[in-house]
A and B are shown apart, each in its own frame.
Chain A
């Protein structure tokens, strides 16, 4: 093949590649917006505060405990904030051109996770449906989410932004488990029709471990 044509073709390739990438990003963002909307709907089921609706219909023994009650409503009403905050954080443009947005949104994320969503998730995990296996899964999810987030804040404070980014990717991967575990349920039930608590144990693990694997792959790619 001739040199001239080759370079022209690769120029077109690059252009269309950039376009595809942008379209992919937009599609991803739209999908994310859709799932955030669904998650918001799940939280709104509990307004006005009601201890006998939705998930709580089968958590009557637990919701009677004051600490579970606090943990549950804290989780339901603050965890969505961390998802909303995630909208802006991975955009290169916003990071570069609107650093204040990145910073404020970052604080919203960090506070909602460290002060509310992760600790409350941990407490709820202790009482999780599905027995010990599910309880370990949800509790470790809470612990890892807390640790990754705090590490990300510290690396940012130390101006180690490469490490900050890596820990935030891991932290956010765990935040996304709210969506992925429910998506897994949808898939597993559709495919295998397992018993309700069996599916619960599966998604308790699949919901965040696979996210972490994907996070590691992304981090490796970014390093290169």
Chain B
């Protein structure tokens, strides 16, 4: 068992090596042209384990080529979803940083793994091309992404994603082992630290389950309220557009994974009411906490 596992790892590793080489050679090439040539490959019959490969692959989407002056976002949690796979073709979509984009591409088999080259439609500023190895045994996706626009703040990224299932669960709690009061202390953006106080108060309520009263929230810091409110969205797999919330949930909440960019229809009655209440106190704090008026 162990032997075969290490064998597979070796294959995956070799395949990854080939993958990155191919990726280098195809950089700058028209993605459609690449797709067309690979479409011509003989189709591979769909088997049961291919169906089994569909799903969410989640992990860090890390910048490898970036421009410091453009305030790049170095790492975000990405979800690469394999939606259809077979006959040499791949369809899927990625969800990262509040942006959901479809991709289509092709795959070839290399040492038991699927070597995928896939392109986003190209009509969005942030579209680009994925090149990755999907390993059917270890259920992981390892690869790179190259932006169509080389002038973006981040034009190339790498990732090692693990397959993860998603299910909404109201019982998921914010983790107690996080130093919540020092959350923004070691942060990429010093503005957050200056403007926001966070405390262990975020652990006091599960706001997906408990219908809040004003007494529950009126004495809380704005920074805590923001995290509490967004914990609802996080449970639904919302992909955060703001860097601050990505920082909080990507790195500190192990159960969090981005799945969707719009969860408004998924919210329960309690959640909708709690969001409205928390938002009131957040806005009040925003306008009046540290100013003269009220």
Contacts and interface: CB of A to CB of B under 8 A. Distances in A.
Interface in A66-106: none
B265 interface: no
Interface of A, helix, strand, loop or mixed by DSSP: helix
Given A195-B219, A195-B221, A197-B218, A58 B281 contact: yes
A154 interface: no
Interface stretch (B2-10, B84-92, B171-179, B286-294): B286-294
Contacts of A42: 293-294
Contacts of A189: 289-290
Nearest to A189: B290
B209 interface: no
Contact of B283 (A41, A57, A195): A57
Contacts of A50: none
B210 interface: no
B294 A197 contact: no
Given A195-B220, A195-B221, A196-B219, A55 B283 contact: no
A183 interface: yes
A213 interface: no
Interface string B202-242: 00000000000010001111000000000000000000000
B293 A196 contact: no
B139 interface: no
Nearest to A188: B290
B219 A57 contact: no
A38 interface: yes
B197 interface: yes
Contact of B294 (A55, A193, A195, A198): A55
Contact of B293 (A38, A61, A190): A38
Contacts of B162: none
A60 B214 CA distance: 10
B164 interface: no
A45 B292 CA distance: 14
Nearest to A198: B219
A57 B218 contact: no
Nearest to B222: A196
Contact of A196 (B220, B280, B283, B292): B220
Contacts of B284: 55, 57-58
Contacts of B221: 195-196
Given A193-B197, A197-B218, A54 B287 contact: yes
A182 B292 contact: yes
Given A42-B294, A58-B214, 5 more contacts: A42-B293, A185-B292, A186-B290, A186-B292, A196-B220
- Shortest 5 CB-CB contacts between residues of A and residues of B: A197-B219, A189-B290, A195-B219, A42-B293, A58-B284
